[in-house]
Amino acid sequence: MVQEGGAAEGLSLPRFAPSTRKMGRWGDHLFRLLIRASALALLLIVSGMVVVMAMAAFPSIKAFGWRFLFTSTWDPVAQHFGALPLVYGTIVSSLLALLIAVPLGIGAAVFLSELAPPWIRPPISFLIELLAAIPSVVYGLWGIFVLAPWLRTQVQPALGSALGFLPLFQGPPYGVGMLAAGLILAIMVVPFIIAVSREVLLAVPDTQREAALALGATRWETTRLAVLRYARSGLIGAVLLGLGRALGETMAVTMVIGNRAEISASLFAPGYTMASLIANEFTEATSNLYLSALVEVGLLLFGVTVIVNALARLLVWSVGGAVKEVRE
Amino acid sequence: MKGVQGLYKRLGVIVAVLVLAVGHAGGSVSAQMLMNGAGATFPYPIYSKWFDEYTKVDPSVRFNYQSIGSGGGIRQIMERTVDFGASDGPMTDEQLKQAPAELIHIPTVLGADVATYNLPGNPKLRFTPDLLADIFLGKITKWNDPRIAEVNPGVALPNQPIIVVHRSDGSGTTYIWVDYLSKVSKEWEQKVGRGTSVNWPVGLGGKGNEGVSGQVKSTPGAIGYVELAYAIKNNLPAPMVRNQAGKFVQPSIQSTTAAAAGAAKNMPSDFRVSLTNPPGDDAYPIASFTWLLVYKNQSDQAKGQALVKFLRWAIHDGQKYTSDLLYAPLPSQVVSQIEAKLKQITYQGKPLLAAQ
Amino acid sequence: MRAGFRRGVNTVMESLTAFAALLVVLPLILILGFLVYQGASAVNLDFFTQLPKPVGEPGGGMANAIVGTLTLIGLASCLGLPLGILGGIYLAESRDRRLPWMVRFLADVLNGVPSIVIGIFAYTIVVLPMRRFSALAGGFALAVIMLPIVLRTTEELVRLVPASLREAALALGIPEWKVILRVVLPTARAGIITGVMVSVARIAGETAPLLFTAFGNRFWHQGLLQPIAALPLQIFAYAIAPYDDWHRQAWAGALVLIMMIFLSSLVARIVTRGRYSGLR
């Protein structure tokens, strides 16, 4: 094996094969600089994003302080801006989406990686990848013309008459609203949960499965005892990644959520998420404070998604990391 | 090595194709100047017709207009990211002060806000001012409310909830509507007020006149406010509203023109005037001018000239397209006042129109 | 425990999970089916060759939006690909202590940032200083979205190139930078192209960041410093409008957009299948 006693920084170049020609050495330096500059560009972009947005949001932060997060009026006439209805809408629509997507997603992932006969895996995986590739605006289009009318004419009246005593299902059947948003988000988030869960499940070493099978477990029992328990944190990570995706989703939600900044107990009511508020009002915030408040909402969204995604990745890596130890 | 050269060659071909695509699209129309505008959705149908027709009059310039709402028009012209803005809510004194330079309002056409609705069987309804205010305040929640029945004797009203639809974006159409409601309802004036974007007590939000009419069209039981053209073109009803003189008036070109009659005589020099709830038997109570927002001192001579030439065409020749699209033309006194104003638009101190 | 009971549980769980998989695939079939049904009847030659007509008049097409999307993808690639590939090489090759870790972390962070936030960023640093909406601003926003994907894919694949290949080249006296450009990159080429195609598929459908950067244009754009139409923007505008003809065109646009995306994914797969087998 070649000894790597080269310089502490720079490429892993073995010491005894330096570029003898001057041109080569000069080229190396230039190249090294170039690639380091590209990496720094990424750093610059991300930090620039935070700085620029913080600066733009500053007037609003100064004017409202912490109250911004807890006030529920979004009133551009009186210049009172509170983000609570938006935070509420974002959380409720995302949670609703997860409620539907997590059991379906993890179930499907388990099916695809553990329980399915081998011939069925490629076509279904392919179909799920196609689902992930459909852009948000196309989901929104389908949502407006297929999902919302179906909800308005079939589902919401049925739910309203059967379960109308619950505040969750009260109110006129708009079609669009929180329920539509949650459903569409669920459809959009499911492929991600499946993809990451499958990776996590595949990372579980076969030794675990073989041990369970050797003890006479059925396929399901193997999955439950050997695989799922092992991969638990990774699966939670997959769910969090799905949450991260749902929190930031803009177009499809804007098209079916009803665009109303209000907190309501009913799933039938219209709502608003942070992302769709920005999409609707950004180009026309007529006062500087208004624009600043919108950027502050953007900053909030940025912060929340970063935290959720960071947590998710930690959890997913933890399964992968444990695997490395077992193998070596 | 063959593989390497192949890779770079392939990349080069892809880049070349893309550059050609860009260049072709740019090159074939390089002789044309592009003017960018943004704003109100209220006059979008007639503006897009104008811009289409004007390229035949003057092929050297093209107008690209994005209907993002009056609030957007005001914002973007203040930021100077567009060459002209459009709004049917006049800018407030504060907004004008915040603008980097003096902005002028140029009225272009007259239009009307109608309370369009979607009910099974499409009954013909009419409304009074307090009905409209209370529906939008959320105090009247069902279609078969006795107060609605009182104003509409003999009409079969369904036992359905009223689904209010308003604008989710900053809108001049909204401004016209809430300006009217503020005048006819003290409660509205105190609780909600005027603006291009307000804190609505109830309802769904739709984006643009397009979004609201789309929403009303697809939601039985819905009621929303849209510009007359949007209602008619989409086979949505445009109901009568009772005006200040106590008469129920149908929104139309004639009643809109009647609404402007009084204002035309006393037009302020900056053209910022509200036409809602006017006196007069034949006047429709919820009408308004719509304005194009331009800077008094243009920063680009070629663009400034193209702009004033277009504006002059719009207030004269452009007016003949209004009736087809259900907008009312500008009253003649106003047109001569606008002409005088156009002559005040300058580039580096020199009026742009005097050269004609 | 009785074996029969356990086997029963096994069957039930297998069916439940199979059912879950089926339910997941169901919306896809519904959406795609509806899309093809509506879109195919709406697509005609006009759609590909004509500009939008004035409001309310039926007919016209989305020719400028299709070209606009391709232009924006090209622009984004010009900005994002070099940065991404070079950055990926850095992450794979460098022996710096802390910078690679930070870059990797931030790339993952950037990947998860909602595209509308990236739109705000692009508006503030490109549109406002330039005082205009432009294709450039849109391309910039899309480049920022595509950057982390290309970065991470390149890093992974450059790592996979066997050390023996590198050492052989170095032993011949070739300078490092030439080794990377002429030996390592071409070997990893297939995978990198996959990464590129994946990111292209992603940005082709992005609407939110374009709302306040590219802005939209009803005509052909003139150069890259003017607003530009894009397929997803046009679909959005038409979808929320009340005109039936616009709805029809929105479906057609959605079909064309999906075809473009699927095509690039397909290309990625084909490229990978051929040359990739040597590496994994």
Cβ contact A190:C24 at 8 Å: yes
CB nearest B75 (choices: A75, A260, A286): A286
Taking only the tens place, the pLDDT of each residue in C202-249 is: 899 899 999 888 888 888 877 788 888 899 999 988 888 777 788 888
> According to the model, what pLDDT value does residue A6 have?
38
Burial group, residue A3, by CB count within 10 angstroms (0-12, 13-18, 19+): exposed
- Our CA-based measurement puts residue C28 at a distance from the nearest CA of chain B, in whole angstroms, of 24
- Most A CBs within 10 A among C90, C120, C181, hence the mutation to make, goes to C120
3-class secondary-structure state, position A252 = helix
Asked if A258's CB is within 8 angstroms of B98's CB, the reply is no
- Our CA-based measurement puts residue A159 at a distance from the nearest CA of chain B, in whole angstroms, of 17
Residue B123 scores a pLDDT above 60: yes
A interface with B, Cβ–Cβ below 8 Å = 73-78, 144, 148-149, 152, 172, 174-176, 254, 258-260, 270, 272, 280-281, 283-288, 291
pLDDT band for position C280 (cuts 50, 70, 90): very low
3-class secondary-structure state, position C96 = coil
Residues whose CB falls within 8 Å of the CB of residue C262, separated by 6 or more in sequence, listed in order:
A130, A133
Asked if B76's CB is within 8 angstroms of A287's CB, the reply is no
Residue B26 scores a pLDDT above 60: no
Asked if B18's CB is within 8 angstroms of C221's CB, the reply is no
CB nearest B4 (choices: C186, C215, C227): C186
- Angle among Cα C252, C204, C268 to the nearest 5 degrees reads 105
- Our CA-based measurement puts residue C76 at a distance from the nearest CA of chain B, in whole angstroms, of 11
> According to the model, what pLDDT value does residue C272 have?
67
Among A104-118, A144-158, B5-19, B137-151, name the one with the lowest average pLDDT.
B5-19
- Our CA-based measurement puts residue C59 at a distance from the nearest CA of chain A, in whole angstroms, of 20
Asked if C7's CB is within 8 angstroms of A38's CB, the reply is no
Asked if C242's CB is within 8 angstroms of B64's CB, the reply is no
Amino acid at A325: E
Residue B18 scores a pLDDT above 80: no
Chain A contact present for B224, CB below 8 A: no
Among A246-255, B20-29, B287-296, name the one with the lowest average pLDDT.
B20-29
d(CA A160, CA B252): 41
Within 8 A of A174 by CB-CB distance, chain B residues are 163, 204, 219
pLDDT band for position B6 (cuts 50, 70, 90): low
Would you tell me which residues 37-76 of chain C have a C-beta closer than 8 angstroms to some C-beta of chain A? none
d(CA B133, CA B140): 9
Residue C100 scores a pLDDT above 60: yes
Chain C contact present for A307, CB below 8 A: no
User: How large is the average pLDDT for residues B113-132?
Assistant: 92
> According to the model, what pLDDT value does residue B106 have?
93
Chain A contact present for B163, CB below 8 A: yes
Asked if A283's CB is within 8 angstroms of B205's CB, the reply is no
- Most A CBs within 10 A among B41, B66, B70, B75, hence the mutation to make, goes to B75
Which backbone phi and psi does B178 adopt, to 5 degrees?
-75, -25
CATH class of A65-327: mainly alpha
User: How large is the average pLDDT for residues A114-140?
Assistant: 85
CB nearest A286 (choices: B161, B170, B206): B170
Residue A7 scores a pLDDT above 50: no
User: How large is the average pLDDT for residues B302-308?
Assistant: 90
> According to the model, what pLDDT value does residue A4 have?
40
Sheet-wide strand order for B84-87: B61-67, B33-39, B84-87, B287-295, B103-117, B222-227, B163-167, B204-206
Average pLDDT of the residues of chain B: 85
Tell me the β-bridge partners of B297: B346
> According to the model, what pLDDT value does residue B184 have?
92
Asked if C131's CB is within 8 angstroms of B66's CB, the reply is no
> According to the model, what pLDDT value does residue B355 have?
46
Taking only the tens place, the pLDDT of each residue in C67-84 is: 899 999 999 999 999 999
Within 8 A of C27 by CB-CB distance, chain A residues are 131, 187
3-class secondary-structure state, position B312 = helix
Chain A contact present for C147, CB below 8 A: yes
Instruction: Using CA coordinates, name the residue in chain A closest to B178.
Output: A77
> According to the model, what pLDDT value does residue A5 have?
40
d(CA B74, CA C190): 50
DSSP B322: T
Among A146-150, B4-8, C56-60, C131-135, name the one with the lowest average pLDDT.
B4-8
Residues whose CB falls within 8 Å of the CB of residue B129, separated by 6 or more in sequence, listed in order:
B180, B181, B184, B185, B241, B242, B277, B285
> According to the model, what pLDDT value does residue A17 have?
45
Instruction: Using CA coordinates, name the residue in chain B closest to A268.
Output: B204
Average pLDDT of the residues of chain C: 85
Residues whose CB falls within 8 Å of the CB of residue B165, separated by 6 or more in sequence, listed in order:
B203, B204, B205, B206, B212, B215, B216, B219, B222, B223, B224
Highest mean pLDDT among A213-217, B4-8, B17-21, B248-252: B248-252
User: How large is the average pLDDT for residues A10-19?
Assistant: 49
- Chains with at least 3 CB pairs less than 8 angstroms from chain B: A, C
Asked if B1's CB is within 8 angstroms of C186's CB, the reply is yes
Taking only the tens place, the pLDDT of each residue in C148-205 is: 999 988 888 888 888 888 888 888 888 888 888 888 888 888 788 888 888 898 899 8
DSSP C133: -
> According to the model, what pLDDT value does residue B19 have?
56
Residue A321 scores a pLDDT above 80: no
User: How large is the average pLDDT for residues A16-41?
Assistant: 74
CB nearest B22 (choices: C71, C128, C241): C71
Give which of B188, B178, B197 is closest to B286, Cα–Cα.
B178
Instruction: Using CA coordinates, name the residue in chain C closest to A7.
Output: C95
The domains of chain A are located at: 14-61, 65-327
Instruction: Using CA coordinates, name the residue in chain B closest to A72.
Output: B199
Chain C contact present for A210, CB below 8 A: no
d(CA B326, CA B230): 9
Residue C279 scores a pLDDT above 80: no
Residue C46 scores a pLDDT above 60: yes
